[in-house]
Copies of this chain bind each other. A is one copy, B any other.
Amino acid sequence: MSSRLDPVLARIDADLDQALGRLLDLLRIPSISTDPAHAADCARAADWLAADLAGLGFRAAPRPTPGHPMVVGHGGEGGRHLLFYGHYDVQPVDPLDLWQRPPFAPEVQETPAGRVIRGRGAADDKGQLMTFVEACRAWVAVHGRLPGRITMFLEGEEESGSPSLVRFLEDNRAELTADLALICDTGMFDRETPAITTMLRGLLGEEVTITGPRMDLHSGMYGGAAQNPIRVLARVIAGLHDDAGRITVPGFYDGVEELPAQIRAQWEGLGFDGAAFLGDVGLSVPAGESGRSVLEMIWSRPTCEVNGISGGYAGEGFKTVLPARATAKISFRLVAGQDPLKIRDSFRAMVRAMLPPDCSVTFAGHGASPASVMAVDDPAFERARAALSAEWPRPAAFIGSGGSIPVAGYFKTVLGMDSMLIGFGNDDDLIHSPNEKYDLRSFHKGIRSWARILDALAG
């Protein structure tokens, strides 16, 4: 127990309702970064955060980029300089008809599993980033100052591929290079077991548009004789995996190594229930590479998924059109050893080689970030693990993550800075889906967790 920590934890407990009110205010701002119609909302969320941080004594401001602003704030003093990263932008909300209430009218709801904060961004990532802000607030309220030297760095383009991030890091290298980055955009291992994520997949996004005839045609007049871009696109997609679930892009697995035995053993010890994980979303059979465990499929193996497809007439009823073009959004989750740009080139060459006569293809890249593996031999990792273990029912675990947190890779490659990824999301948070939520318990114990970690690492 720490005499400087205990009053901070007490303050967090006493201030929880107010902290919740502040989070709901932030959740009401529809800061969808991928949709240009919401640019002003992203700016509003950045202003809100900069003002909140200034109120805690940070020298904070929204900082312009070619896209949405970054929020940067500096505060506190101490030997170890910590940088905290979160993102204030959120995913789009469609299909809107599947939301039980408006996505940007958040509220706290009672559920059989406890109270939850319901709304777009509750878990990804506004609720998570506010756990750290609220921990700082409690510390300042109790001690009159931050526990150490802290730089806040909040992004507004994480959900749209972070187009401005690398340039911003390069342009503000000295200001943003700290001793260690703390990133709050990941989840618990399970409801009782906190986690530090030490392996992150990378992400390569490709939008593929195949064009055939010069205009939409009548399928009665031309059907049978004219190329149909939807059929061509379907053949491309169907050809991306072989019968064993392996991805067929040439060179895709170059550099991909098998999981080290000790990590495999640690993961096996976690007691992960693959059947329950799939069963929660209505599935029963792992759909990935033959002979791999579910944890491998989602943490340590690369993937290729189709995130969206469109072409021709998709409205009500039927229209016998032979469309001029068809588009798919395809993404690859990458693991250590894979080079995103090499895979992009290989993928594009493969698609071009599959085109029949009279068809052409255009590509639009959406992000190309490599995978990250953290240096867990830094003693800070064990200290943070102990701090987390003190807050939660079960000891914290080092885990992998299927999702991509590209910023961790860029912190390393651009700033030479290591990252520690700690978050309090749960698998049933419905991030990126309708009815996203964040457990009130995640929010409350998340704030307390950061207070403990700051006590262990800061100053």
Q: Is the beta-carbon distance between A309 and B213 smaller than 8 angstroms? A: no
Q: Is the beta-carbon distance between A319 and B35 smaller than 8 angstroms? A: no
Q: Mark A233-257, 1 if CB is under 8 A from B, else 0.
A: 1110111110000000000000000
Q: Is the beta-carbon distance between A331 and B320 smaller than 8 angstroms? A: yes
Chain B residues with CB below 8 A from A235, complex form: 234, 237-238
Q: Give the contact stretch, choosing among A112-120, A140-148, A200-208, A340-348.
A: A200-208
Q: How far is the CB of A8 from chain B (nearest CB, A)?
A: 32
Q: How far is the CA of A362 from the CA of B288 in the complex (A)?
A: 24
Q: How far is the CA of A326 from the CA of B233 in the complex (A)?
A: 14
Report the copy number of this chain in the oligomer: 2
Q: How far is the CA of A433 from the CA of B278 in the complex (A)?
A: 44
Q: Is the beta-carbon distance between A367 and B318 smaller than 8 angstroms? A: yes
Q: How far is the CA of A223 from the CA of B294 in the complex (A)?
A: 10
Q: Is A317 an interface residue (CB 8 A)?
A: yes
Q: How far is the CA of A161 from the CA of B318 in the complex (A)?
A: 8
Contact status of A214 and B281, CB under 8 A, knowing A231-B241, A298-B222: yes
Chain B residues with CB below 8 A from A203, complex form: 220, 320
Contact status of A329 and B313, CB under 8 A, knowing A282-B214, A288-B224: yes
Q: Give the contact stretch, choosing among A128-136, A263-271, A424-432, A445-453.
A: A424-432
Q: Mark A143-155, 1 if CB is under 8 A from B, else 0.
A: 0000000000000
Chain B residues with CB below 8 A from A289, complex form: 224
- Residue of A223, A239, A298 contacting most chain B CB atoms (<10 Å): A223
Q: How far is the CB of A94 from chain B (nearest CB, A)?
A: 7
Q: How far is the CA of A328 from the CA of B237 in the complex (A)?
A: 15
The residue in chain B whose Cβ has the minimal distance to the Cβ of A281 is B213
Q: How far is the CA of A305 from the CA of B313 in the complex (A)?
A: 12
Q: Is the beta-carbon distance between A312 and B333 smaller than 8 angstroms? A: no
Q: Is A285 an interface residue (CB 8 A)?
A: yes
**Using a Cβ–Cβ cut-off of 8 Å, how many residues does chain A contribute to the interface with B?**
100
Q: Is A283 an interface residue (CB 8 A)?
A: yes
Chain B residues with CB below 8 A from A228, complex form: 287, 305-306
Which residues of chain A from 295 to 346 have a CB within 8 Å of any chain B CB? 297-298, 301-303, 305-323, 326-329, 331, 333
Q: Is A212 an interface residue (CB 8 A)?
A: yes
Q: Give the contact stretch, choosing among A42-50, A381-389, A398-406, A408-416.
A: A398-406
Chain B residues with CB below 8 A from A322, complex form: 305, 307
Q: Is the beta-carbon distance between B222 and A402 smaller than 8 angstroms? A: yes
Chain B residues with CB below 8 A from A404, complex form: 220, 320
Chain B residues with CB below 8 A from A285, complex form: 227, 356-358
16 contacts between A and B (CB under 8 A): A34-B319, A35-B316, A213-B283, A215-B281, A224-B305, A224-B402, A231-B237, A234-B234, A238-B239, A284-B357, A307-B313, A309-B314, A310-B310, A313-B329, A318-B329, A321-B432
